[in-house]
Amino acid sequence: MSNKYYKHQKPTSSTKKGGGQVYRKIENPRAHGGAAVAGYSTRVQIFLDLYKQLEDALEDKYKHARRKCSSVVFEFTKDTESAPIRDKLNVCRELRNLLTHNANLGGVPVAEPSGPLMDAMQEVLDFVRKPPLALEFATRGEQVMKATTQHKVMRVMDVMDKNGFSHIPVMNNGAFLGVFSSGVIMRYLLGSRGEGITPDTTIGDLRDYIAVEKHAENYEFVSKDTSYLTVRDMFEKVKGRNQRVSVIFITENGKQDQKLLGVLTPWDVLGDI
């Protein structure tokens, strides 16, 4: 944006019809006590226009909901859905209120949205209009600790203990096979009538116990096109036996036998709300 200087100009009869603040270019800003605002009028108007678009989008979002707040933006900040962009939204909201109620002081603008704040405003608007994909919040498949049927059980348990993992996916030739967890060990011991785990026992020896349907925990699979809001809703809902979803696995089309693209836990999506 070019570096221009503006000073407040009293509205004329023609400008009064359009409303709003009017600024004219200052050829010599030093003659006005250094009151120079680079591209102020343009940037502020763009910011306020983006904010108005946000309000319109949220009005549409909540049109059938029972609201607790008169401000639809403030209503959204109280919604757990806004968690990923809440801090940025609050800063934008505070500046918008300042610009709306105290636009200038002695004819000089009191504030101007910075470049990063303009970016934040656009990010918030994009988030509301088109929520991000769940995959953007997931640990990518290539970064997830995995086991194969050839891995030794005791070695896998040792690594899980040292890293604080409670569940790890078991893969077979790149495709999802099941989940290994402490619950698998318990079911194996009960099913084998006390036959212990030896240093030579492999994940493959526990194959009958790692299938997703064998677990007491709730696991879900979603496709790579699933939105953040969808998985958030899945984590928040209580399923059978008063349990929530423990882990969500992301594959190409949400099928278990496909390549693992990402893994989500409640913390990844819900965080500290």
Please say whether the beta carbons of 240 and 226 come within 8 A.
no
pLDDT at 184: 87
Residue 12, pLDDT above cutoff 50: no
Rounded-to-integer distance, Cα 203 and Cα 239, Å: 28
Give the per-residue pLDDT at 31.
Answer: 41
Residue 81 has pLDDT above 50, yes or no: yes
Q: Which of 179-183, 202-206, 238-242 has the lowest mean pLDDT?
A: 238-242
Using 50, 70 and 90 to split pLDDT, how confident is the model at 76? Answer: very high
Distances in Å between the Cα of 122 and the Cα atoms of 46, 92, 114, 125, 130 are 10, 10, 12, 5, 12
Angle between helices 86-101 and 115-129 (to 10 degrees): 120
Domain with CATH 3.10.580.10 in the chain: 136-270
Out of 13-22, 94-103, 137-146, 187-196, least confident range:
13-22
CATH of 136-270, one of 3.10.580.10, 3.30.420.40, 3.10.450.50, 3.40.640.10: 3.10.580.10
Q: Would the CA dihedral through 241, 246, 247, 248 be positive or negative?
A: positive
pLDDT confidence of residue 117: 95
Distance between CA atoms of 184 and 192, rounded to whole angstroms?
Answer: 12
15 has a pLDDT exceeding 60? no
Query: Which residue in 100, 116, 124, 103 sits closest to 40, CA to CA?
Result: 103
Question: What would the 3-class secondary structure string for the chain be?
Answer: CCCCCEEECCCCHHHHHHCCCCEEECCCHHHHCCCCCCCHHHHHHHHHHHHHHHHHHHHHHCCCCCCCCCCHHHHHHCCHHHHHHHHHHHHHHHHHHHHHHCCEECCEECCCCCHHHHHHHHHHHHHHHCCCEHHHCCEEHHHCCCEECCCEHHHHHHHHHHHCCCEEEEEECCEEEEEEEHHHHHHHHHHCCCCCCCCCCEHHHHHHHHCHHHCCCEEEEEECCCEHHHHHHHHHCECHHHCEEEEEEEECECCCCCEEEEEECHHHHHCCC
In the chain, the percentage of residues whose pLDDT exceeds 90 is 30
pTM of the shown model? 0.61
